[in-house]
Amino acid sequence: MQAANDNRPRLISPKEAAAATSLSRSLLALMAAEGQFPKPVELGVRRIAFVRAEVEAWIDSRIAGRA
């Protein structure tokens, strides 16, 4: 787990979340709507971001869940 003061932004763009997961932005949006991926934070009318810690926790759970 990363330190809370590691100077990385707490929020990441959909593009960064897609790169981190190797999934497309549209698939992440669909998965978030279905409760299978962390929901994004609305920053404005046409701008969203994901919470970095939640995305990293989701990735960690996928790694831990492999058989």
Over the stretch 53-67, which tens digit does the pLDDT of each residue have?
A: 999 999 999 999 997
Query: pTM surpassing 0.75?
Result: yes
Tens place of pLDDT for every residue, the chain, 67 residues? 555 567 889 999 999 999 999 999 999 999 999 999 999 999 999 999 999 999 999 999 999 999 7
Max CA separation in the chain (angstroms): 41
Pull the structure tokens for residue 47.
Answer: 């701008």
Q: Is residue 3 part of a domain?
A: no
Would you state the structure tokens that stand for residue 21, as one six-digit string?
Answer: 């997961």
Instruction: Give the distance from CA 31 to its chain's centroid.
Output: 11
Q: Is residue 22 part of a domain?
A: yes
Read off the tokens for 60: 């960690």
| Strand, coil or helix: 24 | coil
Domain count, the chain: 1
The three-point CA angle 20-39-26 to 5° equals 60
The answer to whether residues 18 and 28 touch, using CB atoms and an 8 Å cutoff, is yes
Tell me which residue range forms the domain holding 31: 11-64
38 assigned to some structural domain: yes
